[in-house]
Chains A and B, each alone.
Chain A
Amino acid sequence: MSDFDAIVIGAGNAGLSAAATLQRAGARTLLVERHNVPGGCATSFRRGRYEFEVALHQLSGVGLEGQAFSLRGLFDSLGVGDKLEFVQEHDLYRFKVPGQVDVTLPADRAAAIETLEEAFPGNRSRVEKFLDLVSNVTILQIAAMRGTSPEQIDPVLFRYGLRPSKDVLDEHFDDPGLKAALGVYWTYLGQPPSKLAFQDLALTLFAYLEFKPWHIRGGSQAMSTAILDSFLAAGGQVRFNTAVSAILTEGGQVLGVRLDDGAEVIAPDVVSNASLPITYGMLENMDVPAAVRDDLATRRIGVSGFALHMGLDATPAELGFTTSTTFVNLDTDDDRIHASWHSLEPARGVCVSSYDVAPIGFAPAGATHVSLVTLQYAHAWDGVPPSDYHRAKFAYAQTLLDVVEHVAPGIRDAIEEVDVATPRTMARYLGHPGGAIYGYDQDRTEGWLFRDSERRPHVPGLHLAGSWAGMGGFQPTLEAGARVARRLMRRKESVR
């Protein structure tokens, strides 16, 4: 006797979209979350007069009203389309390398080309050619993923798709500043251009350029809460402050889960939004299938982040923030920046999100909510004893402020609230190994051509959705949850 038709472990983006999709399709679903609020990364918290956005820098894929293939369709199918208020960012980002580059890219192809020509004269046709390639590779990749037969696919995808992004940038441009300016979204993916497949960088740049970068009024928490609300309204049940401690199996097949209070809940299908190492580690009464064990052993726990969530008693203009998103890198050596994520050496690159250039409602009038993020691997903290943790954390935080002084001189004087999150903080709130925020390291060995955890979990009744089973980031994980749920429902139908 089943208690539920399906259990979803974790209320991150993918867990929420999976749960809502299942319940709305008629499957009686239990959603279990360790934390006391939904969202995983997609959450916020309060300090003083401010609310702090934890993770959403720029939501990709939303698109303009009526634009095809956008996330809006997904939000509608989750029943939250009319409950979210999107706030558009008009620029992709400002990119600054002190003393070398300072360019603001509009979120519009033609305008971006103009801007780059002004900043890097003589490159117009190369930029056009590069952006054409970005579009082509992205559209072809999507076609390929959807099963279009190879003969119908322009081989340009096969020539460029898996090349390191750095090669492709080098092929198009000479100016290191221009390459860095066009490639900087690599930090959203966690791998430097030398290790990042071009099709992944292209997809990201395309998603923001064609569908614009967006924020949500009320932050990502408003989205998480809305999806949960839709799930509950459809009759779903949720347990917060509850962790799944084991996935029960019988005869190699999923039977249900055990919760941390010892209760067992029975269901034929379990969707896990938890990390793959933890999910498979929780399997009880069976060995991890050899195929899975071998696969996971060759994947690398991904990068985490170090963040300053700040409330500043000044307007964005007073502070010097002209765009919602600003990347400040100390130089154009991306490999060097990436190398710095492995240790506590001073931060070399910071992504600044200023949430009041296009306000999301998190700061009072006249004030600004800003987050400063640099990526970092959890093992950078291995040598820090717990007794020295807080000192080390604030000392490292100072190095991010030092970098940001290049765009917002005097930012320290405006601080009214600031809270610091390290990879250990991320591990606490997400329960993921290494506090990883994009799942496994998304280098060229990841991606759908080499890993198929989402399609083939190798344990009947187990389903995997989220940044660990596919690409990280908001759009990919929201889509993954719904996709996995639909696939599960189709299977249920066909069994019946």
Chain B
Amino acid sequence: MRHLYDGVPDILAEIETRAPDTSDHLAETARIVDLHHPRRLALTVAEVIVETPTTRTFRLRRADGEDLPPFLAGQYVGVFTDGTSRPLAISSSPARLDHYDLTVRRVPGGRISNHLIDTLAAGDQVTTTGPMGTFHHNPLFHGEDVVFLAGGSGVAPAMSMIRDIVDHGLDRRFHLLYGSRDEQDIIFRDELDRIAAGRPRIRIDHVIGDLLTAGTIRDLAGPLEGRMVYVCGPQALYPYALEQLTALGHARRRVRFEANGAPARPEEQAHWPAGVDPVEEVIVTAGGRSFRSPRGRPLLDALEDHGIRPEAACRSGECSLCRVRVVKGRVHTAEEARLRLSDERFGYTHSCVAYPLTDLDLDL
């Protein structure tokens, strides 16, 4: 049929005379993807820096010393260890890609923070995800005058943001309100003070042993109108900070919270069914195995307890990597879960913030 069409000889001639494409697209595509978004990074602990009695910074490099993927100050990597993973903010500067610093503070009773601090030493290998997350300055709408409320190790992303401003010579006004329990708990104290000293646009205020009340925020930071406020710290800080900021009349959409793990007490959420005991165990069946797990334990952790490792990164309901399908039974999906509209309808949930209410069958 083709010969009947007008214009065919011209088109055939064009095909004929084209320079052949001889690129290795398989290799080139893999190279581009790995440059920015490698699925996994195999890193070496180059150095362990003692920040405070309870805090260490792990400096990670590639074995070959090549640059790591670029990231936005405030982003995290998922670190795989001991049969599970944890998201940890990169505290180093996005201008120095020969290493990522991860700053870890002991969480009392916390399994992985203590495990890392107690066992990880220079020369050890660590596997992480690539950089991820949306808790970063976005020049399209955050503006160039921002405030950061940090508590404890929540200063890690702030440190990276400040280093970004310094190393890239950005004209951004950055005010850090940093709450610590006591003087010796302050992470990065010397560097923060040194940076702030010569730079009027970077301000650091330490709040020691006190809450970041509305009054404190107002007195230290001044009017918030139009400024973006970042919040990162222990879980309890979030509802409290939101309340204080709201009391100051600050718009909700000018507040950005870093992802913050699964709720420790899901039964306190309004939609947890009345009278259902979070301690009681139910039977979870997944990946060809059945096991008992308490209702109050997130499914992702429960699966990992039994050697099943779904993909995961944020462990806070945001990234959707841990998405699973509930084939039978009922789960409590925490408010933190950012499900897609169609997920509920077809029975999907984010296992990192979902809790088994009844015996369950899961598709991984």
**A contact set with B: CB distance below 8 Å:** 36-37, 44-48, 51, 144, 150, 155, 157-159, 161-163, 217-219, 221-222, 225-226, 229, 232, 241, 275, 277-278, 281-282, 296-301, 308, 313, 361-362, 378, 386-387, 389-390, 394, 397-398, 401, 412, 415-416, 418-420, 424, 427-428, 431-433, 444-445, 449-450
Task: Say whether B6 faces chain A, with CB atoms less than 8 Å apart.
Answer: yes
Chain A: which residue is nearest B139 at the CB level?
A: A394
- Given the interface pairs A162-B5, A387-B70, A389-B70, the reply to whether A445 lies near B21 with Cβ below 8 Å is no
Instruction: Pick the interface stretch among B10-18, B183-191, B295-303.
Output: B10-18
B70 touches A390 (CB 8 A): yes
Whether the Cβ atoms of B70 and A415 lie closer than 8 Å is no
Contacts of B265 in A (CB 8 A): none
B128 to chain A, nearest CB (A): 16
Residue from the list B2, B32, B140 in contact with A449, Cβ < 8 A: B2
* Chain B residues at the A interface, C-beta cutoff of 8 Å: 1-2, 4-8, 11-12, 14-16, 18, 20-26, 28-29, 32-33, 35-37, 67, 69-70, 72, 94-95, 97, 134, 138-141, 253, 311, 318, 320-321, 323, 338-343, 345-346, 348, 363
Instruction: Give 5 closest A-B pairs by Cβ, nearest first.
Output: A281-B26, A277-B25, A297-B20, A46-B338, A415-B141
Q: Which residues of A contact B141 (CB under 8 A)?
A: 412, 415-416, 418
The reply to whether B26 and A298 form a contact with Cβ atoms under 8 Å apart is no
Contacts A433-B29, A444-B7; A51 near B14 (Cβ below 8 A): no
Instruction: Establish whether residues A450 and B15, one from each chain, have CB atoms under 8 Å apart when the complex forms.
Output: yes
A36 touches B321 (CB 8 A): yes
In the complex, what residues of A have CB within 8 A of residue B95's CB?
387
Cross-chain contact B33 with A431 (CB below 8 angstroms) = yes
5 contacts between A and B (CB under 8 A): A158-B6, A389-B70, A394-B140, A416-B141, A444-B14
Compute how far the CA of A394 lies from the CA of B70 in the bound complex, rounded to whole angstroms. 14
Contact B5 A449, beta carbon cutoff 8 Å? yes
Contact B1 A150 (CB under 8 A): yes
Q: Bound complex: CA of A482 vs CA of B67, how far in Å?
A: 44
A424: B residues at CB distance < 8 A: 32-33, 35-36
Q: For the A-B complex with A36-B321, A158-B5, A444-B11 known, give 9 more contacts whose Cβ atoms are closer than 8 Å.
A: A162-B8, A221-B341, A222-B342, A281-B24, A298-B21, A313-B253, A387-B95, A397-B140, A424-B32
Which residues does chain A contribute within 8 Å of B320, judged by CB atoms? 36-37, 45-46
Residues of A within 8 A of B7 (CB): 162-163, 444
Question: A298-B20, A449-B2 known; A401 and B140 CB under 8 Å?
Answer: yes
- Given A163-B6, A282-B26, A415 contacting B140 (CB threshold 8 A): yes
Which of B22, B97, B253, B346 contacts A226 (CB under 8 A)? B346
Partner of A278, one of B12, B26, B323, B338: B26
Residues of the B chain whose Cβ atoms lie less than 8 Å from the Cβ of A401: 140
**Nearest B residue to A47 by beta-carbon distance?**
B134
CA distance A238 to B291 in the complex (A): 23
Closest partner residue, chain A, to B29 (CB atom): A433
**Bound complex: CA of A275 vs CA of B70, how far in Å?**
27
Instruction: State the Cβ distance, A13 to closest chain B Cβ, in Å.
Output: 15
Q: In the complex, which residues of chain A have a beta carbon less than 8 angstroms from the beta carbon of B14?
A: 444-445
CA distance A144 to B337 in the complex (A): 51
**What's the Cα separation between A217 and B340 when bound, in Å?**
12
**Bound: A438/B146 CA distance, A:** 40
Nearest residue in A to B323 (C-beta to C-beta)?
A36
Q: Do residues A275 and B15 form an inter-chain contact, with CB atoms below 8 A?
A: no
Query: Which of B6, B20, B311, B345 touches A162 (beta carbons < 8 Å)?
Result: B6
A398, closest chain B residue (CB): B140
A241 and B311 contact, CB distance less than 8 A:
yes
A290 CB → nearest B CB, Å:
13
- In the bound complex, CA of A225 to CA of B343 (Å): 8
- Among A162, A361, A378, A397, max chain B CB count under 10 A is at A162
Within the complex, what minimum Cβ distance (angstroms) separates B231 from chain A? 14
Instruction: Please give, as numbers and ranges, the residues of chain A lying within 8 Å of B24 by CB-CB distance.
Output: 281
**Cβ of B72 and Cβ of A158 under 8 Å apart?**
no
Which of B23, B36, B139, B338 is the one whose CB lies under 8 Å from A386? B36
A226 to B345, CA, bound (A): 9
- Chain B residue nearest to A222 (CB atoms) is B342
Asked whether, in the complex, the Cβ of B341 is within 8 Å of the Cβ of A218, the reply is: yes
Specify which of A282, A386, A412 lies most central, judged by the most chain B CB atoms within 10 Å of its CB: A386
Tell me the minimal C-beta distance from B21 to chain A in angstroms.
5
Q: How far is the CA of A433 from the CA of B24 in the complex (A)?
A: 10
Which B residues are CB-close (under 8 A) to A416? 141, 253
* Residue contact B341 to A445, C-beta cutoff 8 Å: no
**How far, in angstroms, from A157 to B141 measured CA to CA in the complex?**
51
Per the bound structure, the CA–CA distance linking A221 and B320 in Å amounts to 13
